[in-house]
Structure 1
């Protein structure tokens, strides 16, 4: 394979990564990011649009959408092999890249996605799932239901009895449940994600760390387990774990952050892992107001990497593989629908990555002016 061909494939992969992450891309920004001409990016977009991996728009591209012109749909789309229903608890924070990855994989696989937005509520989950089933248009379901609380067994049983195959997305049922089928899932390995954060901070010399968990998040249990394991392996205290939301839209968030930082001072804590980005941003902003220097006085690693780069200083963050989770879920469902019950059940964990920025690294020494 020629270098030119290889570089083209690499550009296409990077372009699609940016598209899945943001939902839309602009030619000018991509050209600057990839260090090529705008003409080259336009050609790349045209080539990917011909494969129905994206939709060309003026000045850029978006993920494939049913809003594309009918003539373009007729040129690029045959009748879908399958229609897959997808129910997610949010259509704004965290979930758009997962949906984008699912749509991209669906376009490549020749299948359709019917998307429904729900909430973190069993009743609404059931209502949206039931609507998809009653319409008799879907052959499989990708679901992210609420699996917290005392009624989780009942919800898992209800899902297990649905008349079409189900794959859970960013969700995991209890390790053992008395169901006809052990439910398949695809999710980020959040325990590994927090381990990446802790080991990075440990490498920077921090020995007293704290973990701030977003209250009520399904991710919290995985983060807490990973935290206990890595702290035990490194021989550092694991006691400072706080389960509280401190986003700016929470009443009394400043008082909560003040109490958190008082606990850090009392424990000699020099670094925090904070889930999620909005909470980390709130802590960073409060620190700036109080003259607490990041990372000199307190290092911070955020978890989610949705908006972590927008803070000053930019926050080091663990980035769950959101678009890849959506992509693998669709590919797994297509394999299930194609091969049937002879295909062994799969439970897939996808590794996050650590994006290192200024909030966890020593600031460079500034030379005095000449």
Structure 2
């Protein structure tokens, strides 16, 4: 007798919930759904296959995305599709679903078939997915979000520079020192975001502030550049400066890091923090409140990414990169490159994040 989770009634309910999740965030991962529903990865893959066979979603590596009108087995020429473009992102669960939604919307409007592959933040995995798309020989261009730091990141950028198809980097920028003349990019101006956060806190009377960034995140370095420059220009004191991993799966390590940060704030009279990313900001806020801190009375908080910041208690002020617009602009940039050819000047474009003030920031 099959387990209850595999019965027809449970299967139907689970598939409906998968579709609800797709409508909410645009893409899902097999591993996340299996953990959420308490079933095996194989069960979720079967569910996704069942829904894909009925045209309700699109299977991608490691998960699924919303169905697009361009998801078809009809040859591109017969379906009116002008170009096929591969897209490789490092995550299908945080930040990137919104970028994907924007890219898919633009692709649908512009006659581009988007071939999506989810990788990870590991360079080897990114390169494997990029090489698979390039080797297939049926995509006209690539939109990718590769690692750009360290020897492996630089090697991957050089690899992208040598591809026969054009490449647009999304939320990544090739370092100027590498002198890679053909890689185009569309990014959020995180430097401006850091400056905007400092200005917001200064305008509310905070003078002693701090910054917490996420270890290994490519956003952290430009965010810090903007923050440090603005803190100096505004005459603020940044007395708490931590690069942490508060989302570490070890609850003991996470709690120890949060306690250390709050102790530093208390000892130095720090009244406000910029925290990248949202989960780190929410966890620190929750811990602080549970241990007698008043937010924003004792400590004001700004988050960076605005994925879950509005769900904090109180809701957290956040800087929001225009994620869907980034995806749309990446597709538009690729289409212009494919239509304009090599004579079109190479573009490296940035757009500004938006500040959403909420209850977590106020004058001390």
TM-score interval, normalised by the smaller of the two chains: 0.7 to 0.9
Change (3 A) 1:291 1:330: same
2-structure distance, mates of 1:98, 1:157: 24
Instruction: Rate the CA distance shift 1:219–1:168 in 2: closer, same or farther, 3 A.
Output: same
Whole-Å Cα distance in 1 between the matches of residues 131 and 358 of structure 2?
Answer: 44
The answer to whether the 8 Å contact 2:56/2:67 transfers is no
Listed as ranges, the gaps of 5+ residues in structure 1 are 1-18, 25-54, 58-62, 364-370
Counterpart mapping for 1:138-153 below 5 A? 138-153=139-154
Over 3 Å counting, the alpha-carbon distance change for 1:64 and 1:284 in structure 2 is closer
Q: Secondary structure at the match of 1:358?
A: coil
Q: 1:191 to 1:99 in 2, by over 3 A?
A: same
Give the direction of change, closer, same or farther, for the CA distance of 1:135–1:173 in structure 2 (3 Å limit). same
Give the TM-score taking structure 1 as reference length.
Answer: 0.77
Q: How does 1:266-281 map to 2 (within 5 A)?
A: 266-281=267-282
State the Cα distance separating 1:276 from its structure 2 match.
0.3
C-alpha change, 1:197 and 1:168, in structure 2 (3 Å) is same
The residue aligned with 2:4 is none
TM-score normalised by structure 2 residue count: 0.79
The count of corresponding residues between Structure 1 and Structure 2 is: 306
Which residue does the alignment assign to 1:189?
Answer: 189
Paired position in structure 2 for 1:80: 81
Deviations 1:196-217 (A, max 9, x none): 1111111110001100000110
Matched ranges for 1:27-176 at <5 A: 65-66=67-68, 78-176=79-177
Q: Is the 8 A contact 2:143 2:168 kept in 1?
A: yes
Matches within 5 A, 1:246-325: 246-247=246-247, 249-251=249-251, 252-325=253-326
More off after superposition, 301-310 vs 354-363: 354-363
Tell me the equivalent position of 1:231: 231
Distance 1:332 1:69 in 2: 21
Contact 2:239 2:268 in 1 (8 A): no
Contact 1:248 1:282 in 2 (8 A): no
1:23 aligns to what?
26
C-alpha contact (below 8 Å) 2:212/2:241 kept by paired residues: yes
Contact map agreement 1:23 1:97 (CA 8 A) in 2: yes
CA 64–119 in structure 1, closer or farther in 2 if over 3 Å, else same: closer
RMSD of equivalent CA atoms: 2.6
On the 8 A contact 2:146/2:153 being kept in 1, the answer is: no
CA deviation digits over 1:295-339, x for unaligned, max 9? 000000011100111111000000011001100000000000000
* Contact preservation (8 Å) 1:147, 1:155: yes
1:64–1:78 CA distance, 2 compared to 1 (3 A) = farther
Report Cα offsets for 1:12-63 as digits up to 9, x if no partner: xxxxxxx998439xxxxxxxxxxxxxxxxxxxxxxxxxxxxxx999xxxxx9
Superposed displacement of residue 247, structure 1: 2.2
Distance 1:144 1:312 in 2: 33
Distance 1:108 1:66 in 2: 11
Relative to structure 1, is the Cα distance of residues 134 and 351 closer, same or farther in structure 2, using a 3 angstrom cutoff?
Answer: same
- Taking the aligned partners of 2:127 and 2:338, their CA distance within structure 1 comes to 22
Residue 330 of structure 2 is aligned to residue 329 of structure 1? yes
Contact in 2 for aligned 1:64/1:107 (Cα 8 Å): no
Cα distance in 2, alignment partners of residues 283 and 233 from structure 1: 28
Separation in 1, partners of 2:154, 2:123: 12
* Counterpart secondary structure, 1:240: strand
SS at match of 1:150: helix
Secondary structure (helix, strand or coil) at the match of 2:176 reads coil
In structure 2, what is the Cα distance between the partners aligned to 1:151 and 1:203?
42
Aligned-residue offset at 1:239: 4.6
Name the CA distance, whole Å, in 1 between partners of 2:70 and 2:336: 28
